[in-house]
Amino acid sequence: MLPLAGCGVELPGFGAEDEPSADPEPTVVGEFRGAGSSAQGAAMEAWIAGFREQHPDAAISYDPVGSGDGRETFLAGSTAFGASDVALNDEEMAASGPACDGGNAIDLPVYISPIVVTFNVKGVDQLNMSSDLIARIFTGQITRWDDPAIVTANPTVQLPALEITPVHRSDDSGTTDNFTDYLHATAPEAWPHDPDGLWPLPDGFAAEGTGGVIETVRSTPGAITYADASATADLGQVAIKVGEEYVPYSADAAAAVVDVSPRIENRYEHDLAFVLDRKIDKSFAYPMVLVSYLVVCSRYEDKAEGTFVKEFVEYVASVEGQERAAAAAGSAVISPDLQDWIAEAAKSIYLTQERPEEEAAGQAARQPGGTAGG
């Protein structure tokens, strides 16, 4: 740690302070901290490693403390960026002024992790299921693989007379949260429980972490679970019903759902917070996904920090950054459109000293409820 920190201090020639003119590839020097979503943990490590290949003098640490704490520490101004599985709400947005030197926070959806319902039935690679059917399996109303409801949806598949063992996560997880959100939105009658990171039903079979549920399914014939798509490659996968068609998981379809989802209204410019359209009926989209945001400021007082965030956001949204995350964390590469929007947002991040004339406007925006809107 020490030699690394020393580098940043001993090389003022590369430092931001000495070069007021903006050069095409700004050098990032210093120590920067981020905190938040544990879902993004693996991807963030990959991004930091990739970013440091281009900017070896930047020391970046990411603390996967959880989305709630991530937003809190970001709003308190103690981290350069936050990461959160949900976008900042309007109150949090309105309170972002002090941390952003009079600017505001912006939410950028950089991480899309598809969730796949996966099972262990010998000889069966893919099954069609509606969300209603999935909900009734996980609540224990359908207990056998040869249940008429499953057979009707899969007329061509030979299903065994085997008991279904639904397995869920025992820990608090974003995967469970998004899976239950999907069920609740698309099959409210079969799944009346509110979305939650903790499994809402008291009984059933549980295991800890993605590795735990996958290992349980692998060793238990007839077991079914939900997990990050990357973990389910060698098990049977469920194609979910979207509109009138069954859509198997694919990275493109998972990325597409974000593009067509409506943005949250009345947000600051360049804020890309979405309301995921779980009930989408377009068969090119796969709505069972977890979307996680990078939360940054629109304006930074510290030049080194501002330059870093600008460059880092650009890198994360770039093809290289996204592919690195896909390789490391199994996420879906975001669509080219979304990459462009995020790159635009990155360009819009500015330093206080660049726009002295906005000081007054920034002061005004700092007031709670300023421009955040309803």
Partner 1 sequence: MTTTDSPPAPAAPVRRRRSSGDTERGFSRTFRWIATGSGALILATLAAVALFLIVRAWPAMTASSAELADAVPRYPDDTSFLAYVGPLVFGTLLAAVLALLMATPVAMGIALFISHYAPRRLAQVLGYLVDLLAAIPSVVYGLWGIAVLAPAVGPVWLWLNEYLGWFPLFAGGASPTARVLATVSVVLAVMILPIITAVSREVFLQTPKLHEEAALALGATRWEMVRTAVLPFGQSGVISAAMLGLGRALGETMAVLMILSPGFLYSFNILQAAQQQTIAAYIALDFPEASGLAVNALIATGLALFVITLAVNMAARAIVARRKEFSGAN
Binding interface with partner 1 (CB under 8 A): 38, 66, 68-69, 163, 165, 167, 170-172, 197-198, 202-208, 212, 215-216, 219-220, 222-223
Report the C-alpha dihedral over residues 51, 38, 190, 147, rounded to 10 degrees.
80
Strand segments, DSSP code E, in the chain are: 30-36, 58-63, 81-84, 105-119, 126-129, 165-169, 205-207, 223-228, 236-242, 245-247, 289-297, 299-300, 350-351
Q: 207: helix, coil or strand?
A: strand
Report the nearest approach of partner 1 to the CB of residue 145 (Å).
13
Task: Supply φ then ψ for residue 246, to 5 degrees.
Answer: -100, 125
- CA neighbor of 11 nearest in space, from 3, 21, 23, 1: 3
21/219 with CB nearer partner 1: 219
Give the separation between CA 35 and CA 329, rounded to whole angstroms: 17
Task: Specify whether the CB–CB gap between 82 and 55 falls below 8 A.
Answer: no
Q: How far apart are CA 238 and CA 221, in angstroms?
A: 16
CB 1, min distance to partner 1, A = 24
Nearest Cα to 138, choosing from 80, 206, 87, 239? 206
CB of 324 to partner 1, least distance (A): 25
Shortest distance in whole angstroms from residue 49 CB to partner 1? 23
Beta carbon nearer to partner 1, 199 or 308: 199
Burial of residue 85 (number of CB atoms within 10 Å: 0-12, 13-18, 19+): buried
Shortest Å, Cβ 165 to partner 1: 5
Which CB, 196 or 359, lies closer to partner 1? 196
Least distance between partner 1 and beta carbon 267 (Å): 26
The minimum distance between CB 170 and partner 1, in angstroms, equals: 5
Question: Min. distance of Cβ 346 from partner 1 in angstroms?
Answer: 30
198 to 170, 171, 179: CA distances (angstroms): 7, 7, 11
CA 321 to chain centre: 14
State which residue, 167 or 317, has the beta carbon closest to partner 1.
167
Measured from the CB atom, the residue of 216 and 298 that comes closer to partner 1 is 216
Nearer to partner 1, 227 or 309 (CB): 227
Place of tokens 């909900």: 135
Comparison of 52 and 218: residue with beta carbon closer to partner 1: 218
Closest CB to partner 1 among residues 45, 358 = 45
Q: Are 242 and 283 in contact (CB under 8 A)?
A: yes
- Residue 269 CA to residue 260 CA, distance in Å, equals 19
Q: How far is the CB of 310 from partner 1 (least distance, A)?
A: 31
Rank residues 100 and 231 by Cβ distance to partner 1 and give the closer one: 231
The Cβ of residue 280 has, within 10 Å, a number of other Cβ atoms equal to: 19
